[in-house]
Amino acid sequence: MKKTWTRRRLLQFGGVAGGSMLLMPSVLSACGKKEGSAAAPEAPKALDCSSTTGLAPADLATRNALKYVDSSPDAQKNCANCALFVAPTQEGGCGSCQVVKGTINPKGYCNSWAPKPEATTGQPT
Ligand code: SF4
């Protein structure tokens, strides 16, 4: 049987379609997305190596005495370019230190910072 589009059917269809359009913003907001905009990518979280859980009291005292911080106040000095830093075993993870016990942020700093020796070229002089 062939359906014919009568004026009544067109008005009914238009009412349903229009009602759906009115509900669209609330449906989209329930999904956490806004109409016409892409979801903003989340900023990567900063690496946190500040936990002192499990440290012996003496190691904690050393860490505090040397004023270790997870984020260096000096752009030129940080744990990653310190001679005493031990690089993390996993890329992007916390490293360790020969002086300060516990997890160490490559972007961290303490009062025992010492510059890494200059890289050698391997060429005899
Ligand atoms: Fe970082 Fe201080 Fe250890 Fe150097 S000595 S790696 S600055 S915690």
- pLDDT at position 44: 81
**What is the value of pTM for the model shown?**
0.65
pLDDT per residue over 8-52, tens digit each?
A: 654 565 555 444 444 444 444 444 445 545 677 888 889 999 999
- Among the atoms of ligand 1, which is closest to the Cα of residue 86? 6
pLDDT > 90 fraction of the chain, expressed in percent and rounded: 57
- pLDDT at position 40: 78
Q: Cβ neighbours of residue 92 under 8 Å, at least 6 residues apart? A: 47
Output the residue whose Cα is nearest ligand 1's atom 1: 79
Check residues 78 and 14 and name the one with the higher pLDDT: 78
How many angstroms is it from 97 CA to the middle of ligand 1? 6
Which amino acid is located at 29 in the chain? S
Residue 38 is encoded by which pair of tokens?
């892409």
Output the residue whose Cα is nearest ligand 1's atom 3: 97
Burial of 122 (0-12, 13-18, 19+ CB in 10 A): exposed
C-beta separation of 17 from 24 below 8 A: no
- pLDDT at position 113: 98
